[in-house]
Structure 1
Amino acid sequence: MTDAVRATPAARLRGIGHEFMEFFRDLTQRSPARFAILIYLSLILVFTGLFSLPFAAEDGRVTPFADAFFTAVSTICVTGLATVDMATHWSPFGHVLVFIGVQIGALGVLTLASILGLVISRRLGLRAKLIAAGDTNPLRTHGGPVNEGQTVQLGQIGGLLATVALSTLVIEAIIAVLLYPGLLIAGVEWHVALWEAPYYAAMSFTNTGFTPNPEGLVPFEHNYYFLTILMAGVFLGSIGFPVIYALRQHLFSVRKWSLHVKLTLITTIALFFAGGVVFLILEYDNLLTLGTQDAWDTTFQAFFLSAMTRSGGFAILDVGELNGSSLLVGCMLMFVGGGSASTAGGIKVTTLAVIALAVWSEAKGRQSNQVFGRRIPSDVLRVALSVVAWGATIVALSTIVITQLTKADLGRVLFDVISGFATVGLSTGLTAELPDPGIYVMAITIIMGRVGTVTLAAAVAASSRSQLYSLPVERPIVG
């Protein structure tokens, strides 16, 4: 008898298990981007099955597949859009699923892939380390040789991953403690607030925007303490784990901040104030939104809306009642999103900053793109332009398809599509009215927005090829 015939069932199972682990070990090291996408899709399928269980719904019935799938996508991708009433449709078990799902999604695509890859392979391959390092600072992988003091070293990846998990727990715990008295002031019973405080903390830091009560934030519309803490949580989640990691080390040493940290913080703060001022100007006379409120309420809610369009997803005002001009501004802010490797979506603030700096450098006649005494390599600009182009393409295609399916107003469709792509969660009410085909299109848009266009491009590319020759130069006419 051959060895294969003599092998016991236990031995064959061990052999299959060994081959399975070798396959995943090779996948994590050879293509961590593809592994990240595989993990995300697997999680979505698992949570779809869990949300479909009868005891996950409040009425004890099986949730339709389209709604269960979309909820899983919105939860794992920390988006906040919904096709069902999130506060009333789900049972306590369903709400716990949502809470756990957003915590998993908050870790981010590449961070989650690195952690699971580490567990499976017991070590990070060099390429996985490089990609993880690139996720912490996009200028590292695309900029050639850079100052090592401005990047996260390969040996620090383990520290970074620990920081991601620890910072999430610590920040959410602090936010929950601060939110608890705000809930009591609003009249929420103390034992209910013990659940709602960590729930709101998780939804703010992960930039998801789900609310556990049917009225949403309406009971807190004048509770400025509570709303300010929510905005702080959204801000911390949107700046990105690399920035949190850097600030933890050099909070009061601005000179030691990397260019990525500076661009992220400056652009985020600038867009927050610019958005608030613009919303204030456009909506102050709209009787359906800010027009009936006093000066303080009007100003605060305009800036609250600006913070939430950056990926927060919480809403006090009825977004569907905003002026068309305000919806367009909201689309612009949502499309930009938050910081790299953050719980926010969009093309990222550093992408906008790099493109804006390139335009400014061109206007000044400079040969290179530079800021804060540093030169940004040209290939970083190419990546930024690619991200914008791919993002705009995804939004355009999704908008065309959903508009054709629903025959709805283009402005409403565009707003909800960008909200889905940028994983914001604000809605004009269109998402809840989508037919099943529209739900699947929106879900795909969300997944592509959360995974990231650069990650998708890296996953599609089987391998990087070096070109050992240079072609002749010829300049086409541009403009």
Structure 2
Amino acid sequence: MPGTVSKAPDRSRDRAKSRLIRENTLARALLHPFRTVPLAFLAAIIVGASLLMLPVSRTDIGADILMPALFTAVSAVCVTGLVTVDTATFWTPFGQTVILGLIQVGGFGIMTLATLLAMLVRKSIGIRGQLVAQTESHTLNLGDVRSVLLRVAKIMVFFEVSTAAVLSLRFWLAYDHNLGTALWHGVFHAVSAFNNAGFALYSDNLISLAEDPWIIVPICAAIVVGGLGFPVIIELLRGRKNSRAWTVHVRLTVYGTLLLLAIGVGFFAIFEWNRAETLGQLSTGGKWLAALAGGVFPRTAGFNSIDYADAAPETLLMTNILMFIGGGSAGTAGGIKVATFLVLGFAIWNEIRGREQVTVGHRAISSAVQRQAVTVALLGVAAVIGGTLLILMFTDHSLEAVLFESVSAFATVGLSTGITLTLPPSAQMVLIVLMFIGRIGTVTVASALAVSSRPRRFRLPEERPIIG
């Protein structure tokens, strides 16, 4: 029949047109990270805070719940770990389950959104120009998005389940937990660790477990893996043993992570080894285990195996530096990111050597990337300074404690010297803003700068102001 012959091509064209519309809508939405990412996280925060405000979520029905619920929801979605109430006693199992869900949503969301934005940054010129005419290897379509979501989910589930299995077994065999409680504690701390959240089901966080390698080591491993970032994990899982085959981003992230971990562990051990308030009373093995935790946890995890209120000023300063740098891009870690920090380091080193081109592993780093790194770092410094000034205005705490709190919030770490519980609502709101900015700010700013970068068709006359 002539009529039936013509309908098949029409339906095929309609499906292709509909698919193209969806792809263009997705691309336009993701190409506006200042709108898409914040709204997604705000929606999760609102839902989470509303659930935590329910009477079934808390043990004390008469307690003031608005600020604790909002602060906890922001901290969980932004995978930070700062708390204004005791997670172990204030929240019921239902409330703790809500927190666990928010951590998972926040970690999964930032990994997928940051990865998709990175893909769009690499292909932004083609998307703007002619999406349909792109070849398959240069086009971001719905199939790519589904593939990214599925692969991120598989990776997260694999590492979380593996960590939870080890932790649950240890909690069951070595501690006074029945099997159900052991499984719950194992799952909660595994999810919290891989997502670099730092929430714990113990009132002293992990201080009472500081000398247990079967707890500390798996948590540290999950923190490091989750903080590497999805692109780096995928590259490493491909089994490329020759590091020369790695991309510059993978080299910067892996080698930078190893270097910062070594520095963190070494300095933590040096500064705290003989201090009676922290490591002095532990065994030699316990000291090294606590030093490992002291080097890993500031990489935006937020767990603590010592009381940072008793730590040496040198330890707090080094921890501030590690927190501010953070972990890998497109991962669950916060901070300005390792690659950003190392790009700035290489730029300074090449400037000192008088080289015009910045190179990493026989690859040149463009001036646009260098400018983006400077912008992200300086905006991070501005956010920390602004937050610190405001909290100092609202409280009478020392500069050392407030700065530590501000850096921890911006870098979505969760470490504290213990002042979070005593802060007034105004100061808590400052920390909420810092956590939100720190979680989505570096991702959205870097993506927006890269996507909006357009070469000028003209050059202005140059002039050299006096530097230094």
TM-score normalised by L of structure 1: 0.84
Cα deviation, residue 29, structure 1? 5.2
Separation of aligned partners in 2, 1:219 and 1:453: 34
In terms of mean alpha carbon deviation, does 393-402 or 88-97 score higher?
88-97
Q: How far did 1:25 drift?
A: 6.1
Q: Which residue of 1 aligns with 2:212?
A: 223
Residues 1:49 and 2:38 are matched in the alignment: no
Does 2:36 match 1:35?
A: yes
Go from structure 1 to structure 2 and tell me whether the alpha carbon gap of 1:430 and 1:271 turns closer, same or farther (over 3 Å shift): same
Q: Note if contact 1:35-1:113 (Cα within 8 Å) is conserved in structure 2.
A: no
Contact 1:88 1:214 in 2 (8 A): yes
Give the letter for the 1:311 counterpart: T
The worse-fitting range, judged by mean Cα deviation, of 466-475 and 194-203 is 466-475
Structure 2 unmatched ranges of 5 or more: 1-21, 128-136
Report the CA distance shift for 1:199/1:251 in structure 2 as closer, same or farther (over 3 A): farther
Deviation for aligned residue 1:63: 4.6
In the alignment, the residues of structure 2 paired with residue 252 and residue 22 of structure 1 have an alpha-carbon distance, to the nearest angstrom, of: 36
Alpha-carbon spacing, 1:324–1:410, altered in 2? closer, same or farther (3 Å): same
Tell me by how many angstroms 1:465 deviates.
5.8
* CA-to-aligned-CA distance 1:306-340 (integer Å, 9 cap, x gap): 10011111111101100111111110010000000
1:134 shift after superposition:
5.4
**1:430 alignment partner, one of 416, 419, 428:** 419
Q: What is the aligned counterpart of 2:439 among 450, 464, 472?
A: 450
Query: Cα distance, 1:62 vs. partner?
Result: 6.1
**Cα offset for 1:226?**
1.6
1: CA distance between counterparts of 2:207 and 2:185? Answer: 15
Q: Contact 2:216/2:289 (CA < 8 Å) preserved in 1?
A: no
Q: Where in structure 2 are the equivalents of 1:43-192 lying within 5 Å?
A: 43-61=44-62, 63-109=64-110, 111-112=112-113, 131-133=117-119, 154=140, 156-187=144-175, 188-192=177-181
> Hey, what's the Cα distance between the residues in 2 that align with 1:341 and 1:104?
15
- Structure 1 residue aligned with 2:325, among 331, 336, 339? 336
Q: 1:265 to 1:458 in 2, by over 3 A?
A: closer
Bigger shift: 347-356 or 31-40?
31-40
The CA deviation at 1:23 is 13
Correspondence 1:387-406 to 2 at 5 A: 387-406=376-395
Residues 387 and 454, structure 1, Cα contact 8 Å, conserved in 2: no
Determine helix, strand or coil for the equivalent of 1:375: strand
CA RMSD in angstroms, aligned pairs only? 2.8
1:322 aligns with 2:323: no
Q: CA deviation at 1:109?
A: 3.5
Q: C-alpha offsets along residues 196-247 of structure 1, whole Å, 9 cap, x if unaligned?
A: 1111110110011111233432342221122101100000111111111111
Kindly report which structure 2 residues correspond to 1:335-414, keeping only aligned pairs within 5 A, or say none.
Answer: 335-414=324-403
What secondary structure is seen at the aligned counterpart in 1 of 2:364? strand
Structure 1 residue 45: deviation in Å? 1.4
Q: CA–CA distance in 1 between the matches of 2:187 and 2:94?
A: 16
Q: Is the CA contact 2:111–2:331 (under 8 Å) kept in the aligned structure 1?
A: no
Q: Which residue of 1 aligns with 2:13?
A: none
C-alpha distance in structure 2 between counterparts of 1:376 and 1:347, whole Å: 18
Shift of 1:275: 1.0
Mapped contact 2:114–2:330 kept (Cα < 8 A): no
Q: Distance in 2 between matches of 1:301 and 1:137?
A: 44
CA deviation after TM superposition for structure 1 residue 76, in Å: 0.4
Distance 1:193 1:414, change over 3 A: same
Contact 1:210–1:314 (Cα < 8 Å) also in 2 = yes
Question: Does the C-alpha gap of structure 1 residues 372 and 466 become closer, same or farther in structure 2, counting only changes over 3 Å?
Answer: closer
Equivalent residues of 1:311, 1:337 under 8 A apart? yes
CA displacement at 1:58 relative to structure 2: 1.6
Query: Any idea what SS the aligned residue of 2:359 has?
Result: strand
Question: How many residues are matched?
Answer: 434
Distance 1:215 1:394 in 2: 29
- Is this contact kept in 2: 1:399–1:414, CA < 8 A? yes
* Cα-to-partner distance string for 1:19-46 (whole Å, 9 max, x where unaligned): xx99986962552441111111121112
Matched-pair contact (CA < 8 Å) for 2:230–2:330: yes
**TM-score (normalizing by structure 2):** 0.86
Match of 2:14 in 1: none
* Alpha-carbon distance between aligned partners in 1 of 2:444 and 2:65, rounded to the nearest angstrom: 31
Deviations 1:340-365 (A, max 9, x none): 01111000000111111112212222
Task: Name the CA distance, whole Å, in 2 between partners of 1:356 and 1:37.
Answer: 30
Contact 1:108 1:343 in 2 (8 A): no
Map of 1:117 onto structure 2: none
Change (3 A) 1:63 1:250: farther
Say which is worse superposed, 29-38 or 305-314, in terms of deviation: 29-38
Report how far residue 285 of structure 1 moved.
2.5
Contact 1:340–1:350 (CA<8 Å) still a contact in 2? yes
Range moving further from structure 2, 57-66 or 99-108 = 57-66
One-letter amino acid matched to 2:428? I
Supply the distance in 1 between the matched residues of 2:240 and 2:199 (Cα, whole angstroms).
31
Q: Which moved more, 1:243-252 or 1:301-310?
A: 243-252
Structure 2 counterparts to residues 251-330 of structure 1, below 5 A: 251-330=240-319
Indicate the residue corresponding to 1:9 in structure 2: none
Unaligned runs of 5+ in 1: 1-20, 115-128, 142-150
Contact (CA 8 Å) 1:173, 1:201: kept in 2 or not? yes
Distance 1:358 1:460 in 2: 19
- Alignment partner of 1:370: what SS? strand
CA offset digits 1:417-474 (Å, max 9, x no partner)? 1001001111101111110111111100000000023514766999666533211111
Rounded to whole Å, the distance in 2 between the matches of 1:264 and 1:113 is 15
State the distance in 2 between where 1:221 and 1:475 align.
Answer: 55
Q: Is the 8 A contact 2:30 2:36 kept in 1?
A: no
Contact 2:33 2:447 in 1 (8 A): no
| 1:75 CA drift (Å) | 0.6
Change (3 A) 1:137 1:408: farther
Amino acid at match of 1:339: G
Partner secondary structure for residue 81 of structure 1:
coil
